[in-house]
């Protein structure tokens, strides 16, 4: 199973959600496009998982500046080409983390969500709850539906808001897979704890 992890925006919690999913499935991890090399997401995931089965695959594009991929690539005089983003070879589950939100541009024509469309990947959407997040989440859900991308489930990140979650899940038509609280510290033990919860949720879903 290959799962694409996307979000309603930058800093929504994709990397933490990806690490929890990787640990729950003992899956491989891949970030196709990394923008910003000082602290990479694959390094973060590696530092948060405990299992010895996961393989962290190298990025298709590793860009220096922590900006939108199209802008970071332009600064380096390169173009991110969708055709050159190829799934790594593995017989394991693969968790694929997008960059930013679903409509972050890779270049002048393609967006992050086009990676999921290219490989017909089932998607998990991370939504962090804040004032305005219902709008941002529903817009993301509607765009996924418009493109025919299958939404496997939603992970809510941050302080719970039951009213917001109810409206979002009603529109999404998919389950809430996990609720991540506002943790004072995120480490391997925290990730392992959430991975146990997520594993139980995933048992009831066809993988």
Q: What CATH number has the domain bearing residue 151? A: 3.40.50.300
Looking at per-residue confidence, does 198 or 11 come out higher? 198
Instruction: Note if 84 is an active site residue.
Output: no
Q: Are 148 and 114 in contact (CB under 8 A)?
A: no
- Whether the pLDDT of residue 205 is over 70: the answer is no
Cα torsion 63, 3, 200, 135: sign: positive
Q: Which of 31, 64, 170, 203 is catalytic?
A: 31
pTM above 0.75, yes or no: yes
**Cα(74)–Cα(90) distance, rounded to whole angstroms?**
31
- Give residue-wise pLDDT tens across range 156-196: 999 989 999 999 999 999 999 999 999 999 999 999 999 99
Number of Cα atoms under 13 Å in the Cβ half of residue 194: 25
Q: Give the C-alpha separation, 2 to 11, whole Å.
A: 23
pLDDT tens digits, one per residue of 77-124: 999 999 999 999 999 999 999 999 999 999 999 999 999 999 999 999
Domain coverage including residue 162: 2-203
Question: Taking a C-beta distance cutoff of 8 angstroms, is the pair 114, 136 a contact?
Answer: no
Tally of domains in the chain: 1
């Amino acid at each position: 199973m290959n799962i694409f992890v996307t979000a309603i925006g930058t800093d929504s919690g994709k990397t933490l959600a990806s690490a929890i999913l990787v640990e729950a499935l003992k899956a491989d991890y891949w970030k196709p496009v990394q923008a910003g090399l000082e602290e990479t997401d694959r390094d973060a995931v590696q530092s948060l998982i405990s299992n010895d089965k996961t393989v962290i695959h190298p990025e298709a594009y590793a860009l220096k500046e922590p900006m939108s991929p199209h802008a970071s690539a332009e600064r380096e005089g390169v173009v991110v080409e969708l055709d050159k983003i190829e799934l790594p070879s593995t017989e394991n589950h693969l968790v694929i983390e997008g960059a930013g939100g679903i409509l972050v541009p890779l270049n002048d024509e393609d967006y992050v969500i086009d990676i999921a469309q290219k490989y017909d990947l089932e998607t998990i959407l991370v939504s962090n709850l804040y004032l305005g997040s219902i709008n941002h989440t529903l817009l993301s859900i509607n765009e996924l539906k418009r493109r025919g991308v299958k939404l496997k489930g939603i992970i809510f990140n941050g302080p719970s808001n039951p009213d917001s979650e109810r409206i979002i899940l009603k529109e999404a038509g998919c389950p809430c897979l996990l609720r991540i609280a506002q943790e004072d510290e995120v480490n391997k033990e925290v990730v392992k704890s959430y991975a146990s919860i997520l594993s139980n949720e995933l048992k009831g879903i066809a993988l």
